[in-house]
Structure 1
């Protein structure tokens, strides 16, 4: 059932984005009097269609793209027979280069506009909820997981600056623009001293893995019991929700990570019994229990959302406020994607780790349908689709833009045979890239 929910979100998002992208081409082509033969969401075989005027509108079986067939244009259909006929006034090839350029940019422009509108919409509809940095630093600093320890952070560190700049919210620590910055680093306060911790250039690859993001940084929580597991030591001795550990094996504890560490250390010792003290309703209860061979005491900590309530800030924006803020966030997202792509091209980031296909994107949507997450990811995908389509690769819009720009500057149009050959090369390259991305997604599953 989980994969069906993820797949449904992916297909809805892609279908919507492909539809608006191809609609951009269609509207621009029709505006300049070009004949549009077909508008398809998905690739053949065709499932359903209807015809209005000279255009057939279709939904096809492979929901990983779409296309608009414009008369007299060398595209993925490679209709060479039509191209061998004399040019007609309604054809793409008969129009001025500047009109053809606008048609090819139509889908990209619409995807950028849609991405911006989505970011404005989610900013207005959902607002923001942040955790203040000072609230974390004032409650014992950060609990650091394995990938945080790998770069030199330690539990109890207080992060006071990011890349040399002061910051206000927890989210600022892990923003893509933070992790992708050149020579990125955190400034932490540890034992009363300030220390700079360098962030490796490829760290974002580790952080973006779902299992690692949860093992980087979190705020520290009290060693309070939230749930007692059945048929465990905790259940046997009557531990209750709300009980708080104050001491384990004679060592005082203030935070859950300290309690967890002491319990793990005891498991590795040769001591048969474990001692601990619990605070309950103003009383201190002492225990010494046989623990040899046991995996845990048998409890889960109190839910994290019950802590730092005073450190959470919720912000709602009016519609007018949301317009510049959402627009800024959309273009910041686009800038981040371009920065990440440049680091892949230059070898700083591994293509294998950085690129995700339909399976990876599907997993990002998650097994629970949350509209804020759905629209956030859809907005990002719209901007990514615009950027990727602008790349100067034949068979993409950017390839057509490249050749049209050459034609406008040189006043010479590339021959149809050259454009056909370039289209074939581009299609082979894109097919190979799709195979690589699909295979990479499958490998990541195991």
Structure 2
């Protein structure tokens, strides 16, 4: 099965699950408060449905347009824009007849379910898989800045440790990129001293201008031989796969990032490599350095376990009991939501250029792996659920947050906005959402065509 097809299946499976549960978040309190629900739909049924069946007073169905889903609640101005019924006298079973606090609960149900779902997924993942990570402060000799131009803009160089972002200690190495993107200042440890650097306002735009350089930080790894190129002068020199090069021409090296400057000093010369073979055997191998300061070796990767054995980093593994997984999952959900809110603040600030990274369906689909992987699937689903919760609570008419905003106004002032005002607000919000949808998916198309 092709990777694109696997991604597509995962995307629609995840989206369908999230939409159905979100709409259930509205449906269940509506029914509890004896409010009539006319339709419950997965996807939109513009002109026709792929499937529909009426059970009781509600039509359940699947539409053909996969841009979301909806429940149509009697006596409510929603995306269906069915305003004719609003001209009649309110009926006891209609949304508009219910007390404001009940209407508020109905409208908050969807986002509440989305957040709770994400937390439940994180709890399940913590219990089932535990957590494995590299503590950010365990990197013995700091980080490797793979893209010097990006590192220079940020003020970071190879060998630095980034110990905090915005004054908060960075616990996990894997969290560094997103923490830096969301942050305003970083705390760097270099040569025994610690100092703060301000993250440039347009740093996100710098990363987005060349997405090949977006992973500009990496672990410092030893130089291990994967294979020697067939066209290399050194193909018969005696180098073997998994040999670790620890010296070039008598100059000791510890990491791959130290190799190039040393080779530059031996252009067009014959030198001896010192390699570590089978973990403890030192072997001297004569090689020729090319005019372009290369040996003709394809580098390999040393495993994290072996790096831990060498004392270069630590790997921590946490296994959670069922009861321990509950606070761990809640913390994960809160931290993920907090991180996403920080990202949105950057996007709404034009100076950051973060709006260039806004993506649509292709970007969301890219969250899923090329091969079927349940942990990755559930992790992506939980993250998208957090996104849906946040986006739906924004105070934009046509979204749940828009309805909540008007309900809170009514509860505070004691005055209900007119049906005509709500109708115009719904139309405005709808066109705004269409514009955002076009912008996000236009960004995806632009990246696909030109990057």
* TM-score, length-scaled by structure 2: 0.87
8 Å contact from structure 2 (residues 145, 151) kept in 1: yes
Paired position in structure 2 for 1:275: 271
Q: How far apart, in 2, do the equivalents of 1:369 and 1:9 lie?
A: 8
Q: Could you say what secondary structure the match of 1:308 adopts? A: helix
Q: How far apart, in 1, do the equivalents of 2:163 and 2:393 lie?
A: 39
Aligned equivalent of 1:126, options 110, 126, 129: 129
8 Å contact from structure 1 (residues 245, 259) kept in 2: no
Correspondence 1:99-248 to 2 at 5 A: 99-137=102-140, 140-146=141-147, 147-164=150-167, 168-171=171-174, 173-176=176-179, 179-182=181-184, 184-190=185-191, 192-203=192-203, 211-216=212-217, 218-248=218-248
8 Å contact from structure 2 (residues 228, 234) kept in 1: yes
Paired position in structure 2 for 1:256: 256
User: What's the CA shift for 1:437?
Assistant: 0.6
User: What's the CA shift for 1:412?
Assistant: 2.3
CA displacement 1:185-244 (0-9 Å, x = unmatched): 122122x4444443334545666886434332x222222213444454453434211323
Q: How far apart, in 1, do the equivalents of 2:444 and 2:56 lie?
A: 42
Paired position in structure 1 for 2:3: 2
Q: How far apart, in 2, do the equivalents of 1:319 and 1:210 lie?
A: 40
CA displacement 1:375-402 (0-9 Å, x = unmatched): 1221122122112111111111111111
Paired position in structure 2 for 1:330: 333
8 Å contact from structure 1 (residues 159, 189) kept in 2: no
CA displacement 1:337-386 (0-9 Å, x = unmatched): 22222233243533533422111111122312322222122112212211
Q: Judging changes above 3 Å, is the alpha-carbon distance between structure 1 residues 136 and 293 closer, same or farther for their aligned structure 2 residues?
A: closer
Paired position in structure 2 for 1:444: 447
Q: Could you say what secondary structure the match of 2:139 adopts? A: helix
- Verify: 1:298 aligned to 2:297, yes or no: yes
CA displacement 1:105-156 (0-9 Å, x = unmatched): 111111121122112111212211122345422xx33222113343222222
User: What's the CA shift for 1:318?
Assistant: 0.7
8 Å contact from structure 2 (residues 397, 429) kept in 1: yes
CA displacement 1:4-34 (0-9 Å, x = unmatched): 2222222111111111110111111111111
* TM-score, length-scaled by structure 1: 0.88
User: What's the CA shift for 1:430?
Assistant: 0.6
8 Å contact from structure 1 (residues 180, 204) kept in 2: no
Q: What value does the CA root-mean-square deviation take over the aligned residues? A: 2.7
- Verify: 1:60 aligned to 2:56, yes or no: no
Q: How far apart, in 2, do the equivalents of 1:163 and 1:405 lie?
A: 34
Q: How far apart, in 2, do the equivalents of 1:168 and 1:76 lie?
A: 44
Q: How far apart, in 1, do the equivalents of 2:379 and 2:207 lie?
A: 19
8 Å contact from structure 2 (residues 143, 161) kept in 1: yes
Aligned equivalent of 1:341, options 318, 341, 344: 344
User: What's the CA shift for 1:101?
Assistant: 1.7
Q: How far apart, in 2, do the equivalents of 1:193 and 1:86 lie?
A: 74
Q: Judging changes above 3 Å, is the alpha-carbon distance between structure 1 residues 386 and 47 closer, same or farther for their aligned structure 2 residues?
A: same
Q: How far apart, in 1, do the equivalents of 2:138 and 2:66 lie?
A: 46
8 Å contact from structure 2 (residues 287, 295) kept in 1: no
Give the unaligned 5+ runs of structure 1: none
- Verify: 1:286 aligned to 2:285, yes or no: yes
Q: Judging changes above 3 Å, is the alpha-carbon distance between structure 1 residues 414 and 156 closer, same or farther for their aligned structure 2 residues?
A: closer
Q: Could you say what secondary structure the match of 1:444 adopts? A: helix
Q: Judging changes above 3 Å, is the alpha-carbon distance between structure 1 residues 230 and 12 closer, same or farther for their aligned structure 2 residues?
A: farther
